[in-house]
Amino acid sequence: MTTTRFAPSPTGRLHVGNIRTALHNWMLARKAGGTFILRIDDTDAARSREEYVEAIRADLTWLGFDWDREERQSGRLDRYQAAFDALQAAGRIYPCFETAQELDVKRKIQLSRGLPPIYDRGALNLTEAEQAAKRAEGIAPHWRFKLDQAEPIMWDDGIRGPQKFDAAQLSDPVIRRADGSWLYMMPSAVDDIDMGVTQVLRGEDHVSNTAVQIQIFTALHASGFGGEGAEAGTLPAFAHEALLVGREGKLSKRLGSLGCDAFRERGIEPAAIIALLARLGTSLPIEPIADRSVLIDSFELATFGRAPAKFDEADLERLNAGIVHQLPYAAVAGRLPAGMDAAGWHAVRPNLAHVAEAAEWWRLVTGPIEAREFQSEDKAFLEAAATALVWCNNPWEQLTTALKESTGRKGRALFLPLRQALTGMDHGPDMSELLLLIGETEARARLRQSAL
């Protein structure tokens, strides 16, 4: 069974890049009839906040992403310790005593020599006595995972194709801080093993992390560490999608802050966000598709390209208008102005870019409307219209047909003065629908008032 996960750290709000990752993992699981796990990566106790956990849940719920399981890394510390012990016993973890400043100096020296700034494994040269002396000085070690440099790291990426890394060109990753807290690399691999994750889909900025984690997976399996959901020795399938960039094709700080709160404030519908992000970066057309099953059925990793995925807020606004034009009355009834029924929504919907704009258009029905000044010939025309108005199933068609015959007017000269007198505007919803909502008495009164 396909099992995917979305693993945000509760150190801030979700932004559009996070949302895209969550969406694609959700779609991947739903298409396969599999399991989508929400995993809260909250091992960073100093920065994690419960308010952010609640906000993540609320945002995913608003977007319509249901999850089958929720896990918290903070509740799994015993498992990480067990994995740490197994790797340490296998000789794959070693203590390091360099300070941050010392490591920075090393990196600068390597860069000045034209070398990659990777860790030189200096800690492996310390004798047990030297290690004991460091501890006696009060220096607590941080811990690194020792990469196997004998063989290249290879996998077939679901988007990027065959990948190959030379482990000697990668730093042994720090997996545990000196204070005993965990970094991302090992706990994430432990969780994927325990939870039976079969597909890891994330941004291309994690490609080198994947190379490292493949070795962690392999080392954990070799050490005898396993989980309930993992078949011994198996690895997840990995896929890395291109990152989002701004309209100009550059990484944008705005994308790092643009989240659900901003979308809600602007009146963006969840369906519009999903319609855009579901296909952004793929070869499929981006259209205002409100039916999620259509998007899920067409979701294929093979359609993703390697080029950066350009996020344009103008595209989102365009899609939002297209989605709003499809929304049924039942979906928006609680967000409409008092008195607006299904007929009213149907009348104004084609003119909306956001649902909240319905209130302004509904004012054309309830009044007051803007008084317009008309020339004398138009005043006479409007007085004739007030007299000619007959209420029926389609009073607008009846009225315009009668006036065309009696006055000889047609086109703009026929329709515009009537619209201006009845709504105070030069454009707007279909008058056949709007006139029925205004009602006979009010419509006749507006025509006569404009004729004065």
Q: Which two tokens stand for residue 97?
A: 């005593």
To 10 degrees, the CA torsion angle through 342, 348, 349, 352? -150
**Among residues 96, 186, 184, which one has the least CA distance to residue 142?**
96
Please check if 108 is assigned to a binding site.
no
**Among residues 367, 364, 358, 353, which one has the least CA distance to residue 333?**
358
Contact 53, 40 (CB under 8 A): yes
Give CA–CA dist 415/411, Å, rounded. 6
> Facing residues of 145 across strands?
93
Q: Which two tokens stand for residue 287?
A: 């259209």
Q: Angle, nearest 10°, between helix axes 412-423 and 395-407?
A: 130
- DSSP codes joined into one string, 226-250: --TT--TT---EEEEEPPEE-TTSS
**In b/e form, how buried is each residue of 210-228, taking b as 16+ CB within 10 angstroms?**
bbbbbbbbbbbbebebebe
The 8-class DSSP code of residue 266 comes to: T
Q: Which two tokens stand for residue 48?
A: 């994690």
Identify residue 296 by its one-letter amino acid code: I
**Dihedral pair phi/psi, residue 227, rounded to 5°:** -130, 165
Supply angle C-alpha 286, 23, 229, rounded to 5: 145
User: Which residue is listed with tokens 């990027």?
Assistant: 160
What is the number of other CB atoms lying within 10 angstroms of the CB of residue 320?
A: 25
To 10 degrees, the CA torsion angle through 388, 389, 395, 396? 70
Binding residues for ATP, as ranges, are 253
Binding residues, as ranges, are 253
